Amino acid sequence: MKELRYLGLMNLHNWSRSEPCSLFKCPRCSKYVIRARANGIKHKTCSRLCYMSFSKTPIYLKCKAPAHPRASHGLIYVHVLVAEKKICRYLREGEVVHHIDRDRHNNIPNNIQVMSNEEHVGLHQRGEGNRSAKLTEKDVVEMRLRYENDEAFEDISKDFPVSVSHCYKIVNYCSWKHVLQG
């Protein structure tokens, strides 16, 4: 948040110590709030509710199902109900629901897939499935071929958006392990 004015040492939480506080203006709802200086600078909005209501990332939809074993305060995620209906049972411990097209609001049964948490993490972190991936699988194969042709890590890494140490890890199958040379 944007710091408007430093207010000095204050005791905001009835703790034994005072901390530097400032007046901040929330960039989303324009509300004025007093926060500990470190927290106000660190946070993007005045509250979690404000962040979620203005967030570009859509939140998962919930519906009332007070009798459901996974219900929290009588609410359950819609995608969980759709998945359980699709597989004709409750989700087991360690199972999660994945949206195939990654649209959290698209809860049609054909877009829902039940998998283990480990599979789900791997799906989102591995290779091009990771939105922040700087390389494609084709790039990884090319890097490994160039290394096999006795090209140095320094030269290979210059042509790709990775460091020399990351190039070493890719070539030696420490990362991008799922990509095998064809």
pLDDT recorded at residue 92: 92
Averaged over 38-43, what is the pLDDT?
79
Mean pLDDT of the residues in the chain: 83
pTM score of the predicted model: 0.45
Give every CB contact of residue 10 below 8 A, 6+ residues apart in sequence: 18, 19, 21, 34
pLDDT recorded at residue 1: 77
Is residue 132 scored above 80 in pLDDT? no
Is residue 37 scored above 70 in pLDDT? yes
Q: Residue 101, SS3? A: coil
Q: How many CB atoms lie within 10 A of CB 170?
A: 24
- Closest C-alpha among 166, 105, 182 to residue 174: 166
* Euclidean distance between CA atoms 98 and 124, whole angstroms: 10
- What does DSSP say about strands 112-116 and 95-99: parallel, antiparallel, or unpaired? antiparallel
Poorest-confidence range of 11-15, 23-27, 125-129, 135-139? 125-129
Top pLDDT among 122 and 132 is at 122
Is residue 61 scored above 70 in pLDDT? yes
Averaged over 57-65, what is the pLDDT?
77
With cut-offs at 50, 70 and 90, classify the pLDDT of residue 16: confident
Top pLDDT among 21 and 48 is at 21
